[in-house]
């Protein structure tokens, strides 16, 4: 079997599919899904989210300079897809019910709410906007890591695996699979 050479693509997978929440100047909140998101710096803690200009969230985040990145779980997979195909221009995504229901959680440093059903909400303030082409990349400093206490064990250790995070790969959502090793396990003495 040979190797085929295809045109450039965004086939850098898997990536997280996160919920990006924001609030406009009147306090009306919105949320969209973003897969073009990533960590970009450890100190200061920074991340990026790339958003198309036509998204309703784009204007809100550009004007307010704030948003919250919320990690998604198996339970949140359906609503993650839903808020990624519906616009806040047409519906109030915080008024959805049943298995699509999202509850606002208070943020400490930004007006944008986090999502209570998410295990980790990262409060962000925009520091730079890079106009790249189809997407504007919002580079932001993470001001607070808001975690759901239910994932803390008796010793206060945060058990992120228990949250059952979701990955996005080539148009599909996946539950994370089995643990293969821990950071540095390849060089650790047995």
Report yes or no: 35 and 16 within 8 Å, Cβ to Cβ: yes
Residue whose CB is less far from ligand FMN, 35 or 143: 35
CA–CA dist 8, 61 (Å, integer): 29
Judged by CB under 6 A, the residue of 48, 57, 73, 118 near ligand FMN is: 57
CB of 164 to ligand FMN, least distance (A): 17
Residue 76 phi, psi dihedral angles, 5° rounding: -95, 0
CB of 54 to ligand FMN, least distance (A): 8
Residue 32 phi, psi dihedral angles, 5° rounding: -135, 160
Judged by CB under 6 A, the residue of 21, 30, 48, 107 near ligand FMN is: 30
* CB half-sphere exposure, 25, CA atoms < 13 A: 3
Residue 139 β-bridge partners: 48, 128
CA–CA dist 113, 106 (Å, integer): 5
Judged by CB under 6 A, the residue of 23, 29, 35, 77 near ligand FMN is: 35
For position 52 contacting ligand FMN by CB under 6 A, the verdict is: yes
CB of 92 to ligand FMN, least distance (A): 10
Residues that bind ligand FMN (CB under 6 A): 17, 30, 32-36, 50-52, 55-57, 81, 84-89, 135, 168
């Amino acid at each position: 079997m040979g190797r085929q050479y295809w045109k450039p693509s965004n086939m850098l997978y898997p990536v997280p599919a996160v919920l990006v929440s924001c609030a406009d100047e009147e306090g009306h909140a919105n949320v969209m899904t973003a897969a073009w998101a990533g960590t970009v710096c450890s100190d200061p803690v920074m991340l990026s989210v790339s958003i198309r200009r036509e998204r309703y969230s784009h204007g809100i985040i550009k004007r307010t300079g704030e948003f919250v990145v919320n990690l998604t779980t198996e339970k949140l997979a359906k609503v993650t897809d839903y808020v990624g195909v519906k616009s806040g221009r047409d519906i109030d995504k915080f008024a959805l019910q049943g298995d699509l229901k999202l509850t606002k959680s208070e943020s400490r440093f930004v007006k944008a709410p986090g999502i209570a059903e998410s295990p980790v909400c990262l409060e962000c303030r925009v520091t730079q906007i890079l106009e790249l082409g189809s997407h504007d990349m919002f580079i932001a400093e993470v001001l607070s890591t808001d975690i759901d206490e239910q994932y803390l064990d008796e010793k206060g250790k945060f058990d992120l695996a228990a949250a059952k995070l979701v990955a996005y790969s080539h148009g599909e959502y996946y539950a994370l699979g089995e643990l293969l090793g821990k950071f540095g396990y390849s060089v650790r003495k047995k």
